[in-house]
Chain A
Amino acid sequence: MSEELFPEPEWLSEEVKTGTTIIAVTFDGGVVLGSDSRVSAGESVVNRVMNKLSPLHDKIYCALSGSAADAQTIAEIVNYQLDVHSYLSPMSYDPLVCSAATLVKNISYKYKEELSAHLIVAGWDRKKGGQVYATLNGLLSRQPFAIGGSGSFYINGFVDAEYRKNMTKRESQEFVVNALTLAMGRDGSSGGVAYVVTIDKDGAEEKCVLGNELPKFFDE
Chain B
Amino acid sequence: MHFTVVFSGLSGVCDRLRQARVRTPAAGSFSNVVSVKMATVLQFPASVSTFNNYNDLYPDWTQREVSTGTTIMAVEFEGGVVIGADSRTTTGAYIANRVTDKLTPIHERIFCCRSGSAADTQAIADAVTYQLGFHSIELDEAPLVQTAASLFREMCYRYREELMAGIIVAGWDPRRGGQVYTVPVGGMMTRQPVSVGGSGSSYIYGYVDSNYRAGMSKEECLKFTAEALTLAMERDGSSGGVVRLAVISEQGVERQVILGNQLPKFSTV
Contacts and interface: CB of A to CB of B under 8 A. Distances in A.
Interface string A171-183: 0000000110011
A156 B32 contact: no
A150 B29 contact: yes
Please give me the 4 A-B residue pairs with the lowest Cβ-Cβ distance, nearest first: A158-B206, A155-B206, A157-B204, A157-B207
B202 interface: yes
Interface string A181-216: 011011001000000000000000000000000000
Given A186-B206, A186-B209, A220 B267 contact: no
B95 to A, nearest CB: 21
A67 B32 contact: yes
B212 A154 contact: no
- Point out which of B34, B192, B235 has the most chain A C-beta atoms below 10 A from its C-beta: B34
Given A157-B228, A182-B205, A217 B31 contact: no
- Point out which of B29, B195, B212, B228 has the most chain A C-beta atoms below 10 A from its C-beta: B29
A183 B207 CA distance: 10
B252 interface: no
B231 interface: yes
A19 B268 CA distance: 26
Contacts of B212: 218
A141 interface: no
Contact of B210 (A17, A144, A165, A178): A178
B194 A160 contact: no
Interface residues of A, number: 36
B31 A182 contact: no
A137 interface: yes
- Point out which of A137, A150, A154, A189 has the most chain B C-beta atoms below 10 A from its C-beta: A154
Given A156-B235, A157-B207, 11 more contacts: A65-B31, A144-B268, A156-B202, A156-B231, A158-B204, A159-B268, A161-B207, A182-B209, A185-B209, A218-B212, A220-B193
Interface of B: 28-35, 192-195, 202-214, 227-228, 231-232, 234-235, 266-269
A66 B35 CA distance: 11
A218 B204 contact: no
Interface of A: 15, 17, 19-20, 65-67, 116, 137, 144, 149-150, 153-165, 178-179, 182-183, 185-186, 189, 217-220
B207 A158 contact: yes
B194 A220 contact: yes
Given A65-B31, A160-B231, A161-B227, A154 B266 contact: no
- Point out which of A65, A157, A163, A178 has the most chain B C-beta atoms below 10 A from its C-beta: A157
Contact of A157 (B194, B213, B231): B231
Given A65-B31, A160-B234, A218-B214, A165 B267 contact: yes
A20 B31 CA distance: 8
A163 B207 contact: no
B266 A160 contact: yes
- Point out which of A162, A185, A220 has the most chain B C-beta atoms below 10 A from its C-beta: A220
B210 to A, nearest CB: 5
A178 B30 CA distance: 22
Contacts of A149: 31
A156 B235 CA distance: 8
A217 B267 contact: no
Nearest to A217: B209
Nearest to B28: A153
Contacts of A162: 210
A163 B268 CA distance: 7
A104 B31 CA distance: 19
Nearest to A144: B268
A20 B34 CA distance: 17
- Point out which of A116, A160, A179 has the most chain B C-beta atoms below 10 A from its C-beta: A160
28 contacts: A15-B32, A65-B31, A116-B34, A137-B33, A149-B31, A153-B202, A153-B203, A154-B202, A154-B203, A155-B205, A155-B207, A156-B204, A156-B231, A157-B206, A157-B208, A157-B231, A157-B232, A158-B207, A158-B210, A159-B206, A160-B234, A160-B269, A161-B227, A161-B231, A162-B210, A186-B205, A217-B210, A220-B192
B202 A182 contact: no
A25 to B, nearest CB: 12
Nearest to A154: B205
Nearest to B235: A156
A191 to B, nearest CB: 14
